[in-house]
Amino acid sequence: MEFKDYYQALGVARDASADDIKRAYRKLARQYHPDINKAAGAEARFKEIGEAHDVLKDPEKRAAYDQVGAGFKAGQEFRPPPGWDAGFEHGESFSETDAQTASDFFEALFGRGARRARGGRGGFAQDGSGFAGNEGFSTEGFKARGGDHQAKVLIDLEDAYRGATRALSLRAVELGKDGRPHMRERTLNVKIPKGVRQGQQIRLAGQGDPGIGGGPAGDLYLEIEFNPHSLYRVEGGDVYLDLPVAPWEAVLGRKVRAPTPDGAVDLKVPAGSRSGQKLRLKGRGIPASTPGDLYVVLQIVLPPATGEAAQKVYREMEEKLAFNPRAGLGV
């Protein structure tokens, strides 16, 4: 396994004070928190920062890490020496790092069974419950509702127009009979109703955690996310399409063919249209009881002037039109 340089992860020196570590962690956590930073890789970086902070903020763990890690560099092959942790006490709550996200390196150093969920997060059906540290329900009564799970489903915009069925592979951590967390994988076939919008959720009752002591099972919430589309962008229920048009189509007015997520349509471009002008196709957005609209945004594209014939047309326009596009700039 790879050695992880936790000091490097936080960008602090090996002799950094507890305050330095906290400051560096706070700053990086704000920068990479997946609720704030949507860039690919931000979540992985956030977990790395969190893991580094879990170790370095705790004097005992930091000392253990320093002892075993002296002389290693990030990415180097690492194997903990036998009996390395002699003299350190590993309680049940030795670590807060999320059981699902801890690196192998972290596990080797601070143990597998001893880990606690920090409030599961991430793309899979998450585990927010079942582990120690969960505040979700009381375990004093013998009957309890199972926790809810969340997962994301990627669909295409076209699926929102027509509805679809998706086979989803979900992984979740469950507490086994031996008291240790296990990965459980299951497949669900889910109907995606027509008219869903980006960010909406679908609740599947009873598909979350099993209940305790005969209590009802929790629910599974699927959050809808649209794959980025090469043609359309989506805002709520409205859909936008940039439609290239030739200068003469915009100037003279023409009927043109335009794609929509529901199939191609003929569209009347009115005479005298400008670039950036929006044509609204009412009710052609994402369907619903009040459907969204489809906005076609005209983009006037100049024909390439390669070849003598085209050059000649441009020269003629220059001579005959007496057009100064900068007339309004006072120059």
204 binds another protein (CB under 8 A): yes
Q: 164-175 and 181-192 as β-strands: parallel, antiparallel, unpaired?
A: antiparallel
Round to whole Å and give the CA distance between 217 and 203: 13
309 binds another protein (CB under 8 A): no
Judged by DSSP in three states, 123 sits in: coil
240 binds another protein (CB under 8 A): yes
The one among 33, 57, 62, 90 contacting another protein by CB under 8 A: 33
- How remote is the C-alpha of 212 from its chain's centroid? 32
Q: How many residues bind another protein (CB under 8 A)?
A: 66
The one among 12, 222, 239, 298 contacting another protein by CB under 8 A: 222
Query: Is 296 in contact with 241 (CB distance < 8 Å)?
Result: yes
The one among 13, 19, 40, 307 contacting another protein by CB under 8 A: 40
Positive/negative CA dihedral, 241, 245, 249, 250:
positive
Place of tokens 């009979």: 177
Report DSSP letters for 267-289, one per residue: EEEPTT--TT-EEEETT-SS-SS
Interface with another protein in residues 154-183 (CB under 8 A): 154, 164-170
Q: 220-226 and 149-155 as β-strands: parallel, antiparallel, unpaired?
A: parallel
Q: Which stretch binds another protein (CB under 8 A): 56-64, 186-194, 261-269, 270-278?
A: 186-194
57 binds another protein (CB under 8 A): no
The one among 191, 278, 280, 312 contacting another protein by CB under 8 A: 191
| Tokens of residue 143, six digits | 């009957």
Using CB under 8 A, list all residues that contact another protein.
26, 29-30, 33, 35-40, 50, 118-119, 121, 123-125, 128-129, 134-137, 145, 147-148, 150-154, 164-170, 187-191, 193, 195-205, 207, 218, 220-223, 228, 233-235, 240
